[in-house]
Chains A and B, each alone.
Chain A
Amino acid sequence: MDAVIEFAQGPLFRVTFGIMILGLIRLVVLDLINAVEAYRRAGDKSLAWTAAITKTVSWLFPLKRAFTQRPVYSVISIVFHIGLILVPIFLLAHIQLWEAGLGISWWSLPHFWADLLTITTIVTGAALFFGRIGQRSAQALSRTQDYLWPILLIIPFVTGYICANTVVGPATYQLSMLVHLLSAELIFVLIPFTKIAHCVLMPLSQFIITLAWKFPARVDDKICTTLKKKGAPV
């Protein structure tokens, strides 16, 4: 068991974390390449930068917008995202591992807040899952991954909480730790290839859609040629 945990903590972590980072960099780079090409082709290069920045910031910190529609869902979703982002990055136990491995460290969450955010993430994650099952409009849109993600995301939080806060036998501890590691690593690998890619792509959205409405100049002729419609009536 120890050897398996060590493997999951060491080589497997490095590989999966690397896949996530490289995968996310790839997505951002692809988006930027597409955007540069679109900008080059755009007939009108004046972009409403200020509006795009304002909208991006307002959705990154959706305090105003969120509560005008579906306030309950909005609060749940926001609380879920806060824990999901803060706990893995700012948990003292995680930072200590970074320090031991790479010698780097940063500010950590006080123990109380780390615990509280872990619990709120678990509770809101479960709420999102049941909300998706129970709501007609969400059901109609949901794919398999949409149901699975909230569950998968709270597994490392539940197991992490068990390891950090409860008095359990060594076997349970080891099992929890292993599940904690493996589920987190599965998440790392899946992030760049699923909807969770929005963690890095979402801040680019407003720029992409602003640019998307700037069409290339004079495409009528080109499309007609490709579709063999030249000279055809309207």
Chain B
Amino acid sequence: MRTQPINEQERERAFSSVKKPEVTERQQLDVRYHVEDHEVTGRPRAFLEAFAAILRHTNYRMALEHFVRVSAKCARCAVQCPVYQATNDVKDIPCYRSELLLSVYRRHFTMSGSLIGRLTGTGHLTDETVQQMAESFWNCTACRRCTIECPVGIDHALITHLGRFILSEIGIAPRALVVSTREQLEGKTGNTSAVPVPALSDTLEFLEEDMEEEKGVPIKFPLDVEGAEYLFTPAVSDFLMEAETLMGIAAVFAATGGSWTISTNYFDAINYGLFYNDRILERVIRKLYSETERLKTRAILIGECGHASRTAKYYVPVHCGGDQAKPVYNIMEYTYRMYKEGKLKLQPGTITEKVTYHDPCNIARQGWIVDQPRELIRAFCSDVVEMQPLGQDNICCGGGGGTVSIDEIRPYRTTVGGKAKADQIRATGAKYLIAPCANCKKQLRELVEDQEIDCEVVGLHDLIYKAIMFEGQPAEMQTAQEKG
């Protein structure tokens, strides 16, 4: 992967800050994202206390002990990092970023490090380093490409994840994420977008009417069905912004006779904890799981959302009973299984324009879901082109790691974070860019707009909705569908 570094004009745009100087002054923190007011005196000490508490109760010490010993500083990760490729600033090399935290660990939490540090009187954590970490860890889009490229096996993504966790414990975390999560866990609406239940039911009712009119068969969003097979939770923003994705999913269930339900008590799979704090991640997972227990569903089904799928799949077992926990699936797995079993019929050639598929990092990097959506797409699209690299080696949309939800850094995301992705999209010349992830969709729409690429960003089920065929569907509607 090679992308050209940004020019001076782009650099100015990317790193411009909308923050008021007096806020930066008051918080003594020069970062581009908004942070809630927090205690600024004694920050290094508070950081070390939080670090110590986290090390005591988690497994990070094992990883850090290993990393400080094997780190060979080969700089190989530099060629894999889309952010460094765009900024060409050595501070953005993954190994450089990791060293910020590793050096704190070495100096304050290893015997040899603290001995040498005390003897020479150097290396203790300063406010300046805290500031560097606050900036650097949030420049990263947590795409984890560097991790797969490290010959000695250092997981830079894990280090950034931990760095953000510690920072958030001393009050340094993007306000956008914290405020949404507060509403999700402690607010009246109980979801990150503050969608009230009446608004949800109205929206779904409206969509049901639309679908029946368009497809000629009844398609429902079953609410609060106890004992359904799947508890379906998308990123809550889908109810506001991705109606077509939801319609496609409802249509798949209607066509395949699947048993599913949406809970009006809790309908948000977003888990920003993954991006800034493991404690929050745990709370959101437990809230999700208690809902599946309340409605007695067999499994949890997550909508088109990368990080929500990854957190549920990997952290429901962690916090809710290991191998005894209810299984978690991503909607693409369900749709694919139905297609393979012959229960889902897709009209070949429904989409004739050129389409390409974007692998969301949180779904593809670990090789979880890579081929299934491609097979589905080929079933009803006649002109499919691939981006390079793809699958496990894919390039991030540029808004990963929670950065997409931080609106004030949009210029950074579309100039730096998404630079390599924009090059990739342009090279395909695709009309439709399929991205089965709420975060990726938002970022990619902003990216194609800011980078002036003529391409429409859609979800996988948005297109499936166009191609799906129903038994008993009025003939004229099937013909209309065939004609596109």
Contacts and interface: CB of A to CB of B under 8 A. Distances in A.
Interface of A: 27, 30-31, 34-35, 37-38, 41-46, 48, 51, 55-56, 59, 62, 65, 69-70, 73, 77, 135-143, 146, 193, 195, 197-198, 201-202, 204-206, 208-209, 211-220, 222-224, 226-227, 233-234
Contact of A223 (B53, B61, B71): B53
Interface string B295-307: 0000000000000
A218 B282 contact: yes
Nearest to A52: B153
A205 B70 contact: yes
A209 B153 contact: yes
A48 B185 CA distance: 32
A234 to B, nearest CB: 4
Given A215-B59, A234-B186, A137 B90 contact: yes
Nearest to B323: A46
State the majority secondary structure of interface residues on B.
Answer: helix
Of the candidates B54, B154, B169, B317, the one having the most CB atoms from chain A within 10 angstroms of its own CB is B317
Interface string B65-88: 110011111111011100010000
24 contacts: A27-B69, A34-B61, A42-B59, A43-B322, A59-B151, A65-B149, A69-B76, A70-B76, A138-B73, A140-B75, A140-B93, A141-B75, A141-B90, A195-B69, A195-B70, A202-B153, A208-B153, A209-B147, A211-B62, A215-B318, A223-B54, A223-B57, A226-B53, A226-B56
Contact of B182 (A211, A214, A234): A234
A31 B68 CA distance: 12
A195 B71 contact: yes
Contacts of B427: none
A205 B279 contact: no
Contact of B322 (A44, A138, A222): A44
Contacts of A213: 155, 158, 314
Given A30-B65, A227-B49, A43 B96 contact: no
B367 interface: yes
Contacts, number: 174
Interface in B109-136: 112
Nearest to A222: B57
A209 B76 CA distance: 18
Given A204-B66, A216-B57, A226-B57, A69 B93 contact: no
Interface in B171-185: 178, 181-182, 185
B23 interface: no
B193 to A, nearest CB: 16
A140 B53 contact: no
Of the candidates B53, B66, B278, B282, the one having the most CB atoms from chain A within 10 angstroms of its own CB is B66
Nearest to A210: B155
Contact of A206 (B57, B72, B153, B280): B153
Interface residues of B, number: 63
Contact of A219 (B84, B186, B278): B278
B63 interface: yes
Nearest to B76: A70
Given A43-B319, A208-B62, A216-B59, A197 B69 contact: yes
Contacts of B208: none
A216 B53 CA distance: 14
Contacts of B54: 223
Contacts of B314: 44, 213
B153 A51 contact: no
The 8 closest A-B CB pairs, nearest first, are A205-B153, A140-B90, A43-B318, A44-B317, A34-B62, A212-B63, A38-B59, A226-B53
B314 to A, nearest CB: 7
B57 A205 contact: no
B333 interface: no
B40 interface: no
A215 B58 contact: yes
Contact of B169 (A62, A211, A227): A227
Nearest to A193: B112
Contact of A220 (B147, B148, B283): B283
Interface string B132-176: 000000000000000111011111001000000000010000000
Nearest to B61: A34
A137 B62 contact: no
A161 B472 CA distance: 84
Contact of B186 (A208, A222, A227, A233): A233
Given A69-B149, A140-B93, A234-B280, A212 B60 contact: yes
A220 B279 contact: yes
Contacts of A65: 149
A31 B149 contact: no
Contact of A136 (B72, B90, B153, B169): B90
A140 B96 contact: yes
B73 A195 contact: yes
B242 interface: no
B50 interface: yes
Contacts of B60: 212
Of the candidates B1, B58, B60, B147, the one having the most CB atoms from chain A within 10 angstroms of its own CB is B58
B323 A214 contact: no
Contacts of B153: 55-56, 59, 202, 205-206, 208-209
Contacts of B79: 69-70
Contacts of A35: 62
Contacts of B318: 42-44, 214-217
A216 B58 contact: yes
A215 B278 contact: yes
Contact of B70 (A48, A197, A216): A197
